[in-house]
Structures are given as C-alpha cells and as structure tokens.
Amino acid sequence: MGALDGVTVVSVEQAVAAPFATRQLADLGARVIKVERPGAGDFARGYDTTVKGMSSHFVWLNRSKESLALDIKDPGDAAVLARLVDRADVFVQNLAPGAAERRGLGAPELRRRNPRLITCQISGYGASGPYRDKKAYDLLVQCEAGLVSITGTEEEPAKAGISVADISAGMYAYSGILAALYERERTGTGTHVDVAMLDALGEWMGYPYYYAGYGGTAPARTGARHAAIAPYGPFRAGDGGEVFLAVQNDREWRSLCERVLRRPALAEEPDLSTNTGRVRHQARVREAIEAALADLTSAQALERLDAAGIANARLRTLDEFAEHPQLAARDRWREVDSPAGPLRALLPPALPGGAEPRMDPVPDVGEHNTAILAELGLAEDGDGGARPSGAKRAGRP
C-alpha cells in the first residue's frame, strides 16, 4: 500500500516540470490522470525517438499514469475535465498564465465546487509581475536566474546539462502538494500551491547570490572545479586519467598532504593552510597534487584517496553509470512496461519505510479514455470526444 493510495490527481500537463511532480506522486501510489491533447499528446512525446521509438523525457516522467485525451477548448471535453476535477484530490496544471482561468480552471472557482481540492500551478515567472506572460523554457530561466553566468569555463558560459529549472520547479510542486495534503488532514479544506520556475531555481542559487552580493564578485566559472573550495575537482594522474576529489575543511587538507601527497609540510604552509588561501592559490595546489599523482595510475590514486578518507570519484560515462556497482548491489533497478515493451527504470530515491513504489506502465496517448469516461457515465463519440452514455454529443451529428 502506497503512502498516497486513494489520492486522485488530475493534471493538465506537458514538458518536464508538472509531469515530474505528478510522477513522483504516482510513485507513492496516487492515481494520476494525465490530460493530453488528442492525437499528438504531451509535446514532450516528440522530443526524440531514442527509447524504442519513444521520447527519453516522456518515458522518464510519465510512468504509472493514465492518459486521457481531451481538447479542453471544446465545451464537451471541458465539461468532462470539470467533472473529473470535481472528484479529484489534487489538480495540477502548467498552462500559460491566465489560460486556466479563461477555461474555468482557476483555483478559486475549482475550490468553490470542491472545497477539499488542492490546486497547483507551475509557471515560468509567476502569475503576476512584468514577466508574467513571457515564454519560459529551461535554458531561458537558467539565464534569468544567473545560473549560466557562473557555469562553464573561464572562456565560455554554459547551461547545466539537465533541465534544472524544470526539475527544481517540479520538486517544489511535489513537496508543496505533499504539504498541502498534510494540511488538509488537519483543516479539511484544500489550498493553492503556486510554483514559478524562476523562484525554484532562484532558491538553488542561494550560495552564489550571497557570495556575490556580500563578497563583491560573482563566483568564477571554473568548469568542474569550485569557485569557493580548494582542492576540488579533477586532477591528472600519471597514466593520463583524471581523478576527482573534494576537500571540505583544513583537517582533510592535512590528511591529503600527509597520506596521499606524502608532503605533510605542505599542509602547514601559510598560503595553503586555510581554504581561503588554497582558493587564492589554486594553481599551486593543483601543481602539488598532480606532481604527487604523477607516479600513480588513476586507479592507484583512487585507492590511496579512499585509504586516507578523502572524498573522490571517477568520471563515469552514462553507460558506466547504468552499470554502476553501487546501484546493482542495492537492487535499485526495476522494469517498467510501455507501448514499446519493457524498459529499465531506477527506483525513486525517497520512499517511506523503504516501501516498494508503484512502477506501472508508461501510457499511450488516450490509452485510458474509455475506462475513465465510463467511470463518469460517459462514452466516446465518433470524433474522439465524450458524450453521456446512450446520447449524442451536443452540437455533433
């Protein structure tokens, strides 16, 4: 039994942020009804065809959901959606600001009909302000939040390699909905959760904001290194391979000098004895570490770092990540069905009591129309819309 068994979520969603939030609710046992456009469905279905003909983003974000294809601009289909939402516990949407209200899906109106309903809106920049109607895609929000300015190398800025603006918004929507469900247990009434991608990513920009705002300069772009911690990042070993290590405090620095570099006096040099000094003299730090590693292979260097208790890692490819021995040893992989057959999927990272999550199939567009409409006493008409069982749809022959 999942923690959210019995909770029904209706979501008018597309792309990444909202689907990530609702998939995590589904992982915990919630019933998630995903409302998609008839035909093409969620436009993330068309991002690529790399997963047995399906989109990698869509497969990742949409297992364990039921797909209901509705044209919410059509009055008949809009009425179907309204009936669903009136029965739901949670309604999520990431329509353009104002679009939900124009279609009768604004939070106050929905809760007048269903006082226990929790509503969640995810937008790029929020429901008010000068950027309210500005289009917001992940890269663009990364730029507006300042992330791109501090990511990359000294020569060139870079965006993060994953959709961090979308993911952060999805995470805060998920946690906000969980908090709202808990509040409803005490008050008996629902509430609204409003998440903007800029706000979510802005929270993640806390360290560079304080660093720049109070230190006078922004953190430097340092590639895989760190602007405020040293040593931190990649260092070349004697075989040409790179090892990644991170020293978090002066005690660890002394251990690195004594047990890995075999140069204990280095730890006491005034310029290098504190993190502030090591950051200021990063070139000297790197030169000393790589000189000591020159006689070691990367594997030997990692062994020595492990023995000294210094945090380290090897740079894995995605293929190597997929075969990571730690994930295998902890039985973190499962199989999820899909329209194209079984697919490998990681377990969710946080589950109450270590319970087995819901890992149901990835749906096809409109796969659950017949079953969901039947629950509402409706049937599909010949045009793919809905009508009361035994009746013709208004306005249709």
The number of folded domains in the chain is 2
- Asked whether the predicted pLDDT for residue 394 surpasses 50, the reply is no
Q: Judge whether 221 lies within some domain.
A: no
Q: Which of 226, 281, 324, 368 is catalytic?
A: 226
Q: CATH number for the domain including 30?
A: 3.40.50.10540
Active-site residue 192, yes or no? no
pLDDT category at 391 given cuts 50, 70, 90 is: very low
Element (H, E) at 19: helix 17-27
**Do 352 and 282 belong together in one domain?**
no
Assigned domain for 201 exists: yes
**Does a structural domain hold residue 214?**
no
246 and 363 share a domain?
no
Domain residues for the domain of 292 are 232-315
Mean pLDDT, all residues of the chain: 92
- What was the pLDDT predicted at 381? 65
358 lies in a domain?
Answer: yes
- Last-in-domain residue among 285, 315, 345: 315
The answer to whether residue 261 is domain-embedded is: yes
Write the single-letter amino acid at 178: L
Do 150 and 244 fall within a single domain? Answer: no
Q: Which of 79-83, 197-201, 320-324, 387-391 has the lowest mean pLDDT?
A: 387-391
> What's the CATH number where 267 sits?
3.30.1540.10
What confidence score (pLDDT) does residue 382 get?
53
Let me know whether 151 and 245 are in one domain: no
Q: What is the pLDDT of residue 392?
A: 36
Of 282, 315, 348, the position where a domain reaches its end is 315
Answer yes or no: is 394 within a domain.
no
The pLDDT tens digits for 163-217 are 999 999 999 999 999 999 999 999 999 999 999 999 999 999 999 999 999 999 9
Integer Cα distance of 39 and 124 in angstroms: 26
Question: Are 183 and 93 contained in the same domain?
Answer: yes
43 falls within a domain:
yes
Q: Model confidence over 102-118: pLDDT tens digits?
A: 888 999 999 999 999 99
The answer on 188 and 136 residing in a single domain is: yes
Question: E-assigned strands of the chain?
Answer: 8-12, 31-36, 65-69, 90-93, 118-123, 192-196, 232-236, 242-246, 311-314, 333-336, 343-346, 378-380, 386-388
- In three-state secondary structure terms, 119 is strand
Of 315, 346, 376, the residue at which a domain comes to its end is 315
